[in-house]
Chain A
Amino acid sequence: GENVEQHPSTLSVQEGDSAVIKCTYSDSASNYFPWYKQELGKRPQLIIDIRSNVGEKKDQRIAVTLNKTAKHFSLHITETQPEDSAVYFCAARKRYGNKLVFGAGTILRVKS
């Protein structure tokens, strides 16, 4: 089955700096890669996703890149703010109706 690895497990950045979180997946048939943000004590919520027919997607300060050949994808947050502090999870899925497999999560701390 699918296996998703996520790095780093914790990341501290200064406010205004960029943060990058990387994930690799094992199943070359996976074609949907979402990122979820979970604030302390809250539920995970989707912040951005990418499908295998595109290499990059951007939404304001957040961008995701996908390298299908290498089977890895990354989340980029620019101009980080204290409210970006949270746990971020990447995930992968083969096709609609298959289960979504999550990475272990990255604790992001933005220091002001």
Chain B
Amino acid sequence: DAGVIQSPRHEVTEMGQEVTLRCKPISGHDYLFWYRQTMMRGLELLIYFNNNVPIDDSGMPEDRFSAKMPNASFSTLKIQPSEPRDSAVYFCASSPPSGSTGELFFGEGSRLTVL
């Protein structure tokens, strides 16, 4: 398996623009997580899904952020409109069904810079 695949790896955009980050989890994993990493706040959980259903979105900063998982192999995190304070590395991670180790497998991350 190729692991968790994220795109784009790098995104530079201007304030006010819409940003869409994409994630393909490992096949067979039924948990998907979106994390944001900054120097100031560390690794923050934004939202996670189980079997394509959002379970906990309490970490989503505000209404400008939204996430979807239309099927088991694809998820998006959208920021509209983007602001400079959204600049961060966004990680997607997936985890296998319960009964296994529970390890999170992270993607390479999407580095977002909002000017």
Contact = CB atoms under 8 A, between A and B. Distances in A.
Does B associate with A? Answer: yes
Interface of A: 32, 34, 36, 42-46, 49, 89, 93, 96-97, 99-105
- Of the candidates B33, B104, B108, the one having the most CB atoms from chain A within 10 angstroms of its own CB is B104
Interface string B13-34: 0000000000000000001010
Per DSSP, chain B at the interface is strand
A97 B56 CA distance: 10
B60 to A, nearest CB: 13
Interface in B39-86: 42-43, 45, 48, 50, 55-56
B42 A96 contact: no
B45 A101 contact: yes
A46 B56 contact: no
Given A99-B48, A101-B45, A49 B103 contact: yes
B67 to A, nearest CB: 14
Contacts of A49: 101-103
27 contacts: A32-B102, A34-B103, A34-B104, A36-B104, A42-B108, A43-B106, A43-B109, A44-B43, A45-B106, A46-B103, A46-B104, A49-B103, A89-B42, A89-B43, A93-B102, A96-B99, A97-B50, A97-B55, A97-B98, A99-B45, A99-B56, A100-B33, A100-B45, A102-B42, A102-B43, A103-B42, A105-B42
Contact of B91 (A44, A46, A93, A101): A44
Given A36-B104, A93-B102, A100-B45, 6 more contacts: A34-B102, A49-B102, A89-B42, A102-B43, A104-B42, A105-B42
